[in-house]
Structure formats: structure tokens, C-alpha cells
Structure 1
Amino acid sequence: MSSLTATLTPSRRRRLFDFALALAVLLLALGQLGSQSFGEQTDAARQIDPAGVALCLLSAIPLLMRRRAPLAVLLIVLAATVALVGLDYAVLRPVAPAVALATLGERPRQVNPLRIASVTFAAFSAFVALAWARFGLEPGEYLVTALLWGGGWVIGDRRRLARQRAAQERERIEREQRLAVAEERSRIARELHDSAGHAINSILIQAGAARTVQESRPQGAREAIEAIEVIARETIEDLDGILGRLRGGGSAKLAPAPGTDRIADLVERHRASGLDFHLVDRPGSGQRIPPAVDRAGYRIAQEALTNAARHGTGSAAITIDRRDGELRLTVMNPVARQTAARAAGGHGIPGMCERAALLDGTFEAGRDGDSFVVRAALPFAGQDP
């Protein structure tokens, strides 16, 4: 039997369950009808006859349609239940209304619960009045029926609430997943901007330097072209890693994401193109910097040096300081007096600011006299390395 039900579709399993449920309700009603309420009303109850069987069928068969028309099914089984007692049939433990109420309680609120409660209470009052008049039962003996009907509604309502909470939880998880994907794509977009923007700017500088000295210093021109080749190769590797993460994985052979230990390479690359860039790297207490902070520090330094090369006068100084649980970066480059403040239409400064904010750090950038200064402080104390 278990292998048979396992091969059934969900809709067929539901129909099979409804058939079994209706059959059980019918047998219970016929049992009470034939035994005069299990022998309790042999003197007062009417014997089983076709009319009584028909009413029992009317109270059970509609349950097969309880999922499609639950309110109509409730009204039919309530009417049949009251009619059985009104015609002296001792079916005093009616289960069909409880099943119909459970179905209604389980459904979304398409019908006002107060209307359902009013109809059910009216039917129950008629049931109690007729049963008391016909069989002389005490009011307390109807408590079982009241609990049965009320319990059916409560069970259905609890199942509805459970399904509702499960649906809300699924929606919350899906919403968080969509948000995580959007945040990851935004982070990758920043990575692409920083990596590709820095590379293109460096290639432009190196190409300009090669063109300028190709006649007077052929060796310098060759060095600039070699630097362009190195930059292009490193950028391709960097983009492979970024795009691999965008696709949801990436090759295991990809180089690790750059950190602050490679800022010196950035400075040397700019120096090789003829710029007067200097690095001051102050060692810290030896505490390891978490990868997220290390990577963000590198990207901020990369973007700041790129901006210095594009907008400055050819020189810049970068200071790296690791103390008091913070990674501190300062990039200062002179600018011409008549140079206006840098336009905020690009993505460089907002991107650096966002990187610092994501790590609960601070960031500021602006002119300070004849220099443009970028300062970033990224806390790492207490973070997992």
C-alpha cells in the first residue's frame, strides 16, 4: 500500500484521503444510527431505515467536495446533522461538521469567520434543542459535540497559520537571497571598476611615456612597453577571478585576491612610468588583518593612486599604518592651484567610501591647501582573520 501511495500524484493522494475520510465519517454515523447511539437511546431513538441512511449519506458524501466548496459543504452537513436528530435518529456525536469546519479554518479568509461562527452556532443550538426534546439529554452531555466542532475549526486555523508562516519564511529567505546576490554583484562591479580602471589608466601613462622617450631613450620606451605587458597580464588574471566569482565559482587555480602587501607593486609600477610616488609602510603589532579588510585597503589605495596619477602633478605619497586595531591609509598628492575640485560624477571616490562603510570604517577625501588627500581607516580588531 505504501508503494502504491508513493507513486500517486499529490492531487490523487488528496482525493484518496478525502474518500477515506468521508467513508470513515459515514461508517461512524451509520454505527450510531444502527445502534441507537451505541445503545444509549434504544428506547427513544428511531430504528435504522432508508430515510436515516439517506441522511447519513447526505452528511458524509458532500465531504468529497470539501476542498472545492467548503462553505456549501458545511451548510449541507449541518442541515443533515440537525435533520437526523429532529427525526429521532440518535446520531448524537456528529463528526461531519467538525471536518467541514476544519476545512474552512484551513482555507484563506474568503468568508468572514463571524458568519461561519453564526451559522454554526445556530445549527448547534438547534441540534441541542432537538436532542434535548427528543432524548432528554442533559446540557453537559453536549460538551463533547461542542469540543468536537470547535476543535475542528481550531485545528484547521492552526494549519492555515502554520502554512502562512512557512510561506512568509520562504519569502524572507528568497528576499535575503536576492539581496545577497544584488550585494555581491555590486561588490563585483566595484572590483571591475577598480581593477580595469587602474589598469587602463596605468597603460595610458606607460604608453604616453613610451611615445615620449622612444627617440631619446629607446631603453626607457622598451621598459614602458614591458610594463604595459605586465599590467595587461595581471589585469586579465584579476578579471578572470572576478568573473569566476560572478559565475558562482571560478577556477581553483586563480590567484588570491590582492591585499595591502601588493601596494608596493602599485607604487613601483607608477614609478616605472616616470611618476614620483613614494610609500611609507609602518609595520603594526603583528596582528593578522582579515582578508576583507586587506582587500578593501588594497582597492582603496589602488583607486587613490590612480586618481593621483590622472589628476595630480606627477607625485604622490602613500602611508600605510596598522595600529590600534585599524588599517589606516593616507594618500596625498599635490594639485595645481587653478585645478578645480574633482568632479563627483565618477565612481572612484563613492566606491572607496562605500568600501570603508561596509567595514564600519571611515573615509574622507578632499583638497587640503595645494594637495588632495585621501584618508581611510578600516577597523579589524575583533574580526575573524
Structure 2
Amino acid sequence: MATDVAAAVCDWEDDLRRAGRAAPAGLSVMFRVGAPALALAFAAGAVPAAALAPEPSILGIALVLLSAIPWGRWILKGDDGPSWWFALAVLVPLGAAVLIGLDSPVAALMALAVGLLLVALNVGFAPVPLAAGVAGLTYLVAVAALAGAPPVGWVALHLGFALTLAAAYAVRVSHDSSRLVARALEALALQRAADQRRIMAQDVHDVVGHTLAVTMLHITAARMAIKRSSEAEALEALEEAERHGRASLADLRRLVKVLRSGEESPTAPQPGLADVEALVESFRAAGSPVEFTLSVDGLAVVNPGSELAAYRIVQEALANAVRHGTGAARVSLTLAGGEVAVEVGNPVGGLTDNGPGSGLVGMRERASAAGGDLTAGIRDGEWLVSARMPA
């Protein structure tokens, strides 16, 4: 009917392949070989049955053989998918043979089986107009051939048609459902990749932003120490800047390794609430005054998602405080009432709220991913970042 019933099947196979799934191996074999071979077997059964009839019809036998040519081409050249030309090339000579009279009930039954197979293939995979046309034409030919037949023949015809249509429609529904599932899997894979890229972008932003902020503080301290001729202080500040730079480089290498390996998340331990104090201390050591308060009320265990989100929010907020603030920052971390509350504030002087930047967007996404929310803005001359997440 491998350019025209396989076109539909090939589309399905392509959808499955893009979604990372393999189509059943037997499916392609069934359509490329099984269906036409079955039709040829029916036709081959009709020819000797008609030839052995009391008054064999040479023209009828020739028409049956003619109707088998498209099926033979299917096996030799490949399937072209459901098409009008294929349906007519099979049904016209086959219907003519039946109407002329094969003078053999067995031959007529075999011819009807070929027609029902064609109906099943088209109802299962062809566009609706083609499927309806093939089913209707086959039914009319069968009805015309059964004129004057006993009631049992009519019952058998309609029962055969009903079963064929039901089975073919079930295949059609299964085919369409599988295609939709394959496309949904493909979309899900793309969404996962996009989410992973977004998470990695957040990690890179957090790591680089924090490291640059602290490193610049240490470099500034080193420059001021050199001006004061304090060589020891300058050396200490530069060593701290180098240490933070190397740590940041190691984090970036880990993230790049994750991207290359296709892992869904980093395998190294992620920072949490226990690391917030060390984070604050790193800013203090770089010369940025930070006030830190921790309040714990009965909570011993916090889910890792909220821990990581809280750490990254403090990290980004302090980096922003270094870049844009004008005074000492304050960090408040509270664990109470089944939630983790984070507040980071710093004086901003005459700074105005110009809307969210990428860092603020990232903080909000982290809080949302942990099941919480985050607000940020100027309050009483202070830029305040406030987040609450379930513990």
C-alpha cells in the first residue's frame, strides 16, 4: 500500500524513537510482510477453488489474480501506506470477479476475506474518508454478490463486517493513543532537559556570583593593605581570594561534568543549613560586616530541598548586598512552626527598586521549587529578601 499501511506506522515509530522508546519489533514485520502475505494466501486459495468449480470462470480467475498484484508489489517494493489507488487496484478486479461469479462458495469466501483484510487495514490506519470509502465499497460488493443467498449467508456477512470493523477500530484507537503517549514522552523529556539546564544555570549563577563578590572583597582588602604597607594582610587577603577562586572552579567543573554525563543532578553533597554560618563567615573574612542570627524551635530535621534553597538564597542575597549595599548586612534564619524562614537585609541608601534581576528570579524559583515563596523589595530604607519554605 515503504513510502505509502506503513506511512502511518512509520510516523508512529518516529514518534517513539524521538521519545526514546522502540516500537515493537513484530509490528513492522507484520505490516511489511504479514498483511500482504495473508492477502496473497487468501487469493491463492480462491484460485484453485474457482478452478475446481463445476463451471470454472476463466475471467473470474484472471481477475482474482489481477487483484493480487498490488499485494505482491507490497512485498517486493514496500508499503506505500493506505491510498485510493491501492484500494481500487484490489477491490475493482476482486469485486468484478465476485459479481461475474466464481461458481465456488470457497472461492467467494476467500475473496471476501481479502476484502475484509483491506477494510481492517484502512479502518485501522487510513484517513477517515479513505477508510469509510473502502469499507462502504467492500460492503456493497459483498451485498451484491450475496443477492439471493440464504439468511445464514447474510448473517455471516454482517457478523464478519462487524467483527472486522470493531477489531480495526480498536487498533486505530491503540495506534492513536500510542502516538499521543510517544509525543507526550518526547515533550516530557524536553521539559526535563530544560528544567535541568535552568537548575544548572542557577547553580552556575550562585557559585560564580558568590565567588566573585567574596573574591572582589579580598582583592579590595589586599589593595588597601598594600597602600598601608601591610604586606602580611595583603598576602592573607590574596590567599583567601585564591582559595575561593579554586573552590569555585571545582564547583564549575563538577557542574560541567554533570552536564556532559547527562546525570539529572549533581552527585556531590549539596550545602544546607549547617553551612550557612560558614557562608556568612566567608563574607566577614572578606571584610563585609554581616550580622547572623539563628533561631531553632523544636525542628531537628529539615528536608534537603528546603535546606539547599535556604543556603542558595542567603548566598545570592549576600552577594547582592556586597554589590549593591551600603552597609552591614543581616541574616536571620528561623526554624519554627514546621517551616524554614530566611531573611536577608542590607541598607541600600538612595537605591530604587528597578524590578527583578536574574538573581532574584533564581531565588524565587528555588523557593517555589521547595514548596515555599519569596518576596523582595525595599522596606524602611533596607533591601529585604524574605523566604518561607516548609521544613
- Sort the TM-score into its range (normalised by shorter chain): 0.7 to 0.9
Scaled by the length of structure 1, what TM-score is found? 0.81
Q: 3-state SS of the aligned residue for 2:101?
A: helix
Which residue number in structure 2 is paired with residue 80 of structure 1?
97
The equivalent position to 2:358 in structure 1, one of 347, 353, 357, is 347
Whether the 8 Å contact between 2:293 and 2:331 is mirrored in structure 1 is: yes
Measure how far apart 1:11 and its partner are.
7.8
Which residue number in structure 1 is paired with residue 186 of structure 2?
174
Output the amino acid matched with 2:101: L
Whether the 8 Å contact between 1:74 and 1:101 is mirrored in structure 2 is: no
Whether the 8 Å contact between 2:222 and 2:235 is mirrored in structure 1 is: yes
Which residue number in structure 2 is paired with residue 379 of structure 1?
390
Measure how far apart 1:29 and its partner are.
2.2
Which residue number in structure 1 is paired with residue 340 of structure 2?
327
Give, in whole Å, the separation in 2 of the partners of 1:27 and 1:345. 76
Measure how far apart 1:211 and its partner are.
0.5
Which residue number in structure 2 is paired with residue 96 of structure 1?
114
Whether the 8 Å contact between 2:292 and 2:331 is mirrored in structure 1 is: yes
- 1:281-292 mapped onto 2 (5 Å cutoff): 281-292=294-305
Structure-2 change in CA distance of 1:348 and 1:59 (3 Å): closer
Q: Larger Rg: 1 or 2?
A: 1
Which residue number in structure 2 is paired with residue 71 of structure 1?
87
Q: 3-state SS of the aligned residue for 1:95?
A: helix
Whether the 8 Å contact between 1:63 and 1:100 is mirrored in structure 2 is: no
Output the amino acid matched with 1:257: Q
Whether the 8 Å contact between 1:361 and 1:377 is mirrored in structure 2 is: yes
Q: Relative to total residues, which structure has the larger helix share, 1 or 2?
A: 2
Task: Report which structure shows greater RCO (CA 8 Å, sep ≥6).
Answer: 2
Q: Deviations over 1:230-268 (max 9, x none)?
A: 211211122122222222357x99742222222112211
Whether the 8 Å contact between 2:332 and 2:343 is mirrored in structure 1 is: yes
Of the structure 1 ranges 317-326 and 52-61, higher mean CA displacement relative to structure 2 is found in 52-61
- Segments of 5+ residues of structure 1 without an aligned counterpart are 1-7, 37-45, 381-385
Scaled by the length of structure 2, what TM-score is found? 0.80
Give, in whole Å, the separation in 1 of the partners of 2:291 and 2:280. 7
Which residue number in structure 2 is paired with residue 203 of structure 1?
215
Tell me whether 1:273 sits opposite 2:286 in the alignment.
yes
- 1:1-385 mapped onto 2 (5 Å cutoff): 16-18=33-35, 20-30=37-47, 32-33=49-50, 46-48=54-56, 50-65=58-73, 67-68=79-80, 69-72=85-88, 73-84=90-101, 88-90=103-105, 91-93=107-109, 94-109=112-127, 111-129=129-147, 132=148, 137-216=149-228, 217-248=230-261, 255-336=268-349, 339-344=350-355, 346-380=357-391
Q: Deviations over 1:72-122 (max 9, x none)?
A: 22333223222225xx44344231211221222233306344433432332
Give, in whole Å, the separation in 2 of the partners of 1:280 and 1:142. 89
Give, in whole Å, the separation in 2 of the partners of 1:12 and 1:303. 58
Measure how far apart 1:32 and its partner are.
4.6
Output the amino acid matched with 2:206: D
Which residue number in structure 2 is paired with residue 4 of structure 1?
none
Q: Deviations over 1:280-335 (max 9, x none)?
A: 12234343222222111111000111111222223011111112221110112123
Whether the 8 Å contact between 2:50 and 2:104 is mirrored in structure 1 is: yes
Measure how far apart 1:191 and its partner are.
0.9
Of the structure 1 ranges 177-186 and 215-224, higher mean CA displacement relative to structure 2 is found in 215-224
Whether the 8 Å contact between 1:259 and 1:294 is mirrored in structure 2 is: yes
Give, in whole Å, the separation in 2 of the partners of 1:116 and 1:51. 24
Measure how far apart 1:357 and its partner are.
1.6
Structure-2 change in CA distance of 1:311 and 1:181 (3 Å): same
Structure-2 change in CA distance of 1:314 and 1:224 (3 Å): farther
Structure-2 change in CA distance of 1:225 and 1:284 (3 Å): farther
Whether the 8 Å contact between 1:55 and 1:83 is mirrored in structure 2 is: no
Identical amino acids, percent of aligned pairs: 28
CA RMSD after TM alignment: 2.9
- Segments of 5+ residues of structure 2 without an aligned counterpart are 1-24
Alignment: residue pair count: 353
